[in-house]
Amino acid sequence: MPALLFFDIDGTLITLDKRHVMPESTKKALKRAKEKGHKIFINTGRVKTAIDKHLLQFGFDGLVCGCGTYIEYEGKEIFHQRISKDKCVEYAGKLHHYGFETLYEEKDRLFIDGKYGPGTFMNFIYDYFSKNSDYPIEKTTSPDFIFDKFTTSYNDKSHIDEFEKVFGYDFNLIPHGPVVIEAVPKGYSKATGIEFLMDKLGASVDDCYAFGDSINDMEMLEYVTHSIAMGNSVDEIFDAVEYKTTDIEDNGIANALRHYGLI
């Protein structure tokens, strides 16, 4: 059975700086893994339209997007967990009322509700993700508004207690720094995406390898038998993994694949 290799994007496949590039050592290692017959997958919190174009064109065997809410294999959609439009409108109204600024993420479209300005969360979101998306980023007033998950930001005037009480029931709330929260529908994660593909391909959890660097990688790292933390990972990741490799720009992916005899 070939190995199934699952890779986070930011800090794992591409650098966290403004370049957002895949190191040459990573490219060569992934191509060598494919030549050996192993399957390589992106496994990301991003929805598909927010994935850098050069990654989509690289030749991955499949995608697990939006923390397990959307899955592709060999270029074909095989799973998509949708939230109804009525629910999307209801959730967006509550988030606006609670004083949150939010990026709503659907596999093909992105929508925002928030203020622009230098240094703001929304400004960063627009500048970065508008370069990747095939469609313009729109407002929640668009007739096409719908989403699979969302990422939101709050300030000292936001009603964080009400938010957690209401949204904590339907969503897994994943913190990213002091004021940003990623919200994924309950029952879905990077780990459930691995499980879905593992079952489809007749693999076992021992055939699966997960590579990550941040808190939202924790579930997939704890799920698989072979878990790898990048050397540049947040500290909480290191105690949860089987193997710690070097930094992304210090041959991290290549060194890990060599360690396991996969290349």
CB-count burial class (<10 Å; 0-12, 13-18, 19+) for 155: exposed
CA angle 99, 100, 106 (to 5 degrees): 140
| Rounded average pLDDT over 173-200 | 95
Query: What does the pLDDT look like over 11-35, one tens digit per residue?
Result: 999 998 888 899 999 999 999 999 9
Give me the long-range contacts of 59-62 (CB less than 8 A, separation at least 24): 59/31, 59/34, 61/34, 62/197
pLDDT at residue 125 is higher than 80: no
Q: What is the identity of the amino acid at 148? A: D
Count how many Cα atoms sit within 13 Å of the Cα of residue 32 in the half-sphere of its side chain. Answer: 14
Structure-model confidence comparison of residues 163 and 214, the more confident one: 163
Residue with tokens 């360690």: 259
Q: What is the identity of the amino acid at 99? A: G
| pLDDT grade for 118, boundaries at 50, 70 and 90 | low
Arithmetic mean of pLDDT over the chain:
94
Please give the torsion angle defined by the CA atoms of residues 177, 181, 185 and 189, in that order, rounded to the nearest 10 degrees: -10
| Rounded average pLDDT over 176-184 | 91
| Rounded average pLDDT over 103-126 | 81
Could you tell me the pTM of the whole model? Answer: 0.94
| Rounded average pLDDT over 113-118 | 73
Query: Among residues of the chain, what percentage have pLDDT more than 90?
Result: 85
pLDDT of residue 134: 79
Structure-model confidence comparison of residues 130 and 166, the more confident one: 166
Collapsing DSSP to helix, strand or coil, 110 comes out as strand
pLDDT at residue 216 is higher than 90: no
Q: What is the identity of the amino acid at 4? A: L
- Helix residue ranges, H only, 98-189: 121-129, 160-170
Q: How far is CA 22 from CA 15, 33, 156, 248, in A?
A: 7, 16, 37, 9
pLDDT at residue 130 is higher than 80: no
The tokens for 244 are 């710690």
Structure-model confidence comparison of residues 43 and 1, the more confident one: 43
| Rounded average pLDDT over 194-210 | 97
pLDDT of residue 136: 86
pLDDT of residue 117: 60
- Helix residue ranges, H only, 171-249: 190-201, 218-223, 235-238
| Rounded average pLDDT over 135-149 | 93
Query: What does the pLDDT look like over 63-96, one tens digit per residue?
Result: 999 999 999 999 999 999 999 999 999 999 999 9
